[in-house]
Structure 1
């Protein structure tokens, strides 16, 4: 509003000055033209001095004409001449500038001085008003009366025009000031109305920061840019609230998961401390249980560290990877973990992509470990790798217990386990699938799960490749797998 008011003030000032300059110069130069024409007409005709009144009437401007001889003595004047005394020789010796002030001088002139006319202008003051004077010397065999050289003097009163210009200045000043006040008041009202949503945003942000209540929202009305800003601010609040609640849930779940193995370890160690006379079998059982819980705790900490790296945006070190070799390595390791399940590798096609071999192996072990845990003995688990136009398509299909449809949208949430079977898993951490999704996203790929209770689960992972096609050594890997 302040800047707008300053700009408007400059515009009004410049506009008022320009209007006054053009208006004033036009009127004052019109009088100068009339004086010049009347004096030139009188000097051109020696007999014109007898018709001075007629000459002044023809100019359309109130004026009077005088004729002086070469010595500066008044020879002829009109009967109603009330102009002040003039010495034409002094005027010619010291000519004056225009009758208007400085600002009108900035406007272009509109007076065309005829060729061959000489003379000088002056501005006099008789105590009541100003007079504009033009002295035209007569350079011929006789003066204006035909007797000899002399001067023709034309005079016009400026009192009426000066008063009119004064009123015009007051009018321009008043209108400019009024326009400026209206413009500033209008800009104040418009700015206040336009910035009111910003004030609400500020108050809401301050209140949310003070109360830490992320459920509050800003009222967004209209369809202008500020309404869009308010809507975006609400979306940001919703995103922050969701992230905050997920963080709270994650901390709570992590604390619970860490507390369970620590409690078991401390319980077994306390039992051994208080009962040194326990039979060797019971001591070995307590130590084995403590060891299992310590291993679970180690896996949980490793998974939490991986997720922390994911949340911190730590990128993977990507290089050319023979995915078929990684799949074969993970298959051999998973086969040692099987507990009566049948593991099959089919198909195994050579594929090379840009990625992190260790993370791809971790991804496969997570999926295979889940399949082994939830597939009963005698079940079948199939691991496959296909080349889909240069992309690596990994599949892990099992004939296990499956996942209910209501739980499928949540399987990638941290510490989430689908009921009922998965909630009874004592060795899992609930972080495997979230880590698997992070690995896939870091490779720019996609992961999908298709499952139904009692019908098994199929996980499909697609990793974008380099389009290099088959790689050397893939045939040997295939032969070893078969």
Structure 2
């Protein structure tokens, strides 16, 4: 069963329940009022008959009836019967023709206290009021007033028919209107399904839905779908680019390895040449190992979660700086103690190490590298400054891209992989932080990483 049909049936069911409740309530109220009006009419006629018999003597007799026959005859009507019955059960007066037996006698209780009863009179259900006629507190007769229920039942039946027919017409109209409106409301969903099928069949992730069609939740659905497809398209493009770049970067060390293996296979190779080839193989293997490790980490960045523990970021910076202090560069530290962040200590150590390694590699021996860490506006601010050749303005926007290496990088560090700063950006953003760079050619470079801090308490060493 389609969603459109289910929605239509839901509309019909809800309306049917509402109409049933309203119809039954209206029917009961109308029926009650019609029968109450009938009882009220009988009561008024009985009072009129009693009034026509006054004044009476101590006993009601046929003589009294004859004296007041004209008044009683004036109260007669073709749709309403009444009669006067004495205490012996004899009918003293009847508006019916013939007069005898027009209304059945009351039982003893109703004869004494009065009341309404529904009985069959000449094949018709008749509503009868039995009202005792009292003289000096003593019952002298019973006034009986009756009217056929055919009129009341006909009115009630008409009301019932109107309710039923009106309800069926409303349900039919609701079915047609609901099916039409639900079709229009679900059109964007069908469009989404159609575009999804087209993408599945053609692998064309450039397809998009028209965001101007629909409002409210429909527009939100279209926007979310387009955003999802755009994300998938970007992910696929990223994967293709990643595979292409990875293949390209692995080609050079593999070529070097192949060349040295071919040289080592020569029979008359000198010991010095052999040692040189082995050293080159070892160096290229090390480059490949680091490249593959970096590639694996970046390849998992979409799904790999960052470990979340309290990390003494100050200690991380001190250890990273200690690893490069044996270099001849002038290294200066401005590290504020007790800076604690929430994250993965190993990844943070790799981030700081990459920044320091980058600064050392591109700074002349007589140059200077400064590592600074301090708190600023509730965040940990890491700065790595160098006095190297700097970065050209048109290259700054690309320095965090994978495998990107500017002119200065290729000239000063030909063996680099171009992944170090990409890893820095990934680690910073994975920890809820940011990374930026400020540089001028021949005036050095400064990288700034900002991470949220978690407090001034003691941190767990990574």
TM-score norm. by structure 1 comes to 0.78
> Cα–Cα, structure 1 residues 348 and 73, in superposed 2: closer, same or farther, change >3 Å?
closer
CA-to-aligned-CA distance 1:95-142 (integer Å, 9 cap, x gap): 8xxxxxxxxxxxxxxxxxxxx952442332424x54322233446589
> Cα–Cα, structure 1 residues 123 and 460, in superposed 2: closer, same or farther, change >3 Å?
same
CA-to-aligned-CA distance 1:196-248 (integer Å, 9 cap, x gap): 11111122223223333221111221332111210121112112211221122
Q: 3-state DSSP class of the match of 1:267?
A: helix
In 2: Cα distance, 1:14 partner to 1:322 partner:
70
1:61: how far off?
A: 9.6
1:156: how far off?
A: 1.9
Gaps of 5+ in 2: 1-7, 57-63
Residues 381 and 450, structure 2, Cα contact 8 Å, conserved in 1: yes
Q: 1:359-374 to 2 correspondence within 5 Å?
A: 359-374=347-362
Structure 2 counterpart of 1:414 = 402
Structure 2 counterpart of 1:6 = 13
> Cα–Cα, structure 1 residues 83 and 212, in superposed 2: closer, same or farther, change >3 Å?
farther
Structure 2 counterpart of 1:173 = 164
Structure 2 counterpart of 1:435 = 423
Structure 2 counterpart of 1:87 = 104
Structure 2 counterpart of 1:452 = 440
The answer on 1:231 being equivalent to 2:223 is: yes
> Cα–Cα, structure 1 residues 152 and 410, in superposed 2: closer, same or farther, change >3 Å?
same
Q: 3-state DSSP class of the match of 1:458?
A: strand
CA-to-aligned-CA distance 1:406-435 (integer Å, 9 cap, x gap): 332232222222346438843222211122
The answer on 1:30 being equivalent to 2:37 is: yes
1:387: how far off?
A: 2.7
In 2: Cα distance, 1:356 partner to 1:224 partner:
41
Residues 397 and 458, structure 1, Cα contact 8 Å, conserved in 2: yes
In 1: Cα distance, 2:238 partner to 2:152 partner:
83
1:315: how far off?
A: 2.4
In 2: Cα distance, 1:141 partner to 1:467 partner:
102
Structure 1 counterpart of 2:118 = 122
Residues 83 and 131, structure 1, Cα contact 8 Å, conserved in 2: no
Q: 1:249-264 to 2 correspondence within 5 Å?
A: 249-264=241-256
Q: 3-state DSSP class of the match of 1:39?
A: helix
In 2: Cα distance, 1:190 partner to 1:264 partner:
69
Residues 437 and 447, structure 1, Cα contact 8 Å, conserved in 2: yes
Structure 1 counterpart of 2:60 = none
TM-score norm. by structure 2 comes to 0.82
In 1: Cα distance, 2:327 partner to 2:218 partner:
60
1:300: how far off?
A: 1.0
Q: 2:28 aligns with which of 21, 26, 45?
A: 21
1:332: how far off?
A: 4.2
In 2: Cα distance, 1:319 partner to 1:205 partner:
44
> Cα–Cα, structure 1 residues 149 and 317, in superposed 2: closer, same or farther, change >3 Å?
closer
Residues 67 and 153, structure 1, Cα contact 8 Å, conserved in 2: yes
Residues 402 and 452, structure 1, Cα contact 8 Å, conserved in 2: yes
Structure 2 counterpart of 1:77 = 94
> Cα–Cα, structure 1 residues 8 and 332, in superposed 2: closer, same or farther, change >3 Å?
closer
Q: 3-state DSSP class of the match of 1:407?
A: helix
> Cα–Cα, structure 1 residues 83 and 422, in superposed 2: closer, same or farther, change >3 Å?
farther
Structure 2 counterpart of 1:112 = none
Q: 3-state DSSP class of the match of 1:410?
A: coil
In 1: Cα distance, 2:69 partner to 2:149 partner:
20
> Cα–Cα, structure 1 residues 11 and 333, in superposed 2: closer, same or farther, change >3 Å?
closer
Q: 3-state DSSP class of the match of 2:371?
A: strand
> Cα–Cα, structure 1 residues 442 and 68, in superposed 2: closer, same or farther, change >3 Å?
closer
Q: 1:369-384 to 2 correspondence within 5 Å?
A: 369-375=357-363, 377-378=364-365, 380-384=367-371
> Cα–Cα, structure 1 residues 348 and 34, in superposed 2: closer, same or farther, change >3 Å?
closer
Structure 2 counterpart of 1:245 = 237
Gaps of 5+ in 1: 96-115, 472-482
